Amino acid sequence: MTQGSDVDRVYIFDTTLRDGEQSPGFHLDASSKLKIARQLEKLGVDVIEAGFPISSPGDFEACRQIAREIRGTTVTALARAVREDIDAVWGAIKDAETPQIHIVLSVSDVHIDRKLGMTRAQVLQRGAEMVAYARSLCDRVQYSPEDAGRADIDYLIETVETMIAAGANVINIPDTTGYCLPGEFGDLVRRVINEARGSENALFSVHCHNDLGLATANSLAAITAGARRVECTINGIGERAGNTSLEEIVMLLRVRQARLGLECGIDTTQITTTSRLVAELTGTPVQPNKAVVGANAFAHASGIHQDGVLKDRLNYEIMKPEDVGLDDSRIVLTARSGRHAFHHRLGRLGIKLADGKAEAAWQRFLLVADTKREVNDDDLRKIASGESNGNGHATAIDVPNEHNHVADTLRHMIFG
Q: How confident is the model at residue 295, as a pLDDT?
A: 85
Q: How confident is the model at residue 7, as a pLDDT?
A: 55
Range(s) of the chain covered by CATH 3.20.20.70? 8-282
Query: Residue 335 in contact with residue 365, Cβ under 8 Å?
Result: no
Q: How confident is the model at residue 348, as a pLDDT?
A: 83
Q: How far apart are the first and last CA of the chain?
A: 73
pLDDT digits (tens, 9 = 90+) for 266-299: 999 999 999 999 999 999 999 999 999 998 888 7
Q: In angstroms, rounded to a whole number, what is the distance separating the alpha carbons of residues 32 and 211?
A: 27
Query: Of all helices (H) and strands (E), which one includes residue 42?
Result: helix 30-43
Q: How confident is the model at residue 388, as a pLDDT?
A: 33
| Whole-structure pTM value | 0.84
Homologous superfamily (CATH) for 8-282: Aldolase class I (3.20.20.70)
> How are beta strands 11-14 and 229-232 bridged, if at all?
parallel
pLDDT digits (tens, 9 = 90+) for 327-354: 877 777 888 888 888 888 888 888 888 8
Low-confidence ranges of the chain (pLDDT < 70): 1-7, 302-303, 307, 309, 387-416
Among residues 384, 305, 373, 372, the alpha carbon closest in space to that of 343 is found at 384
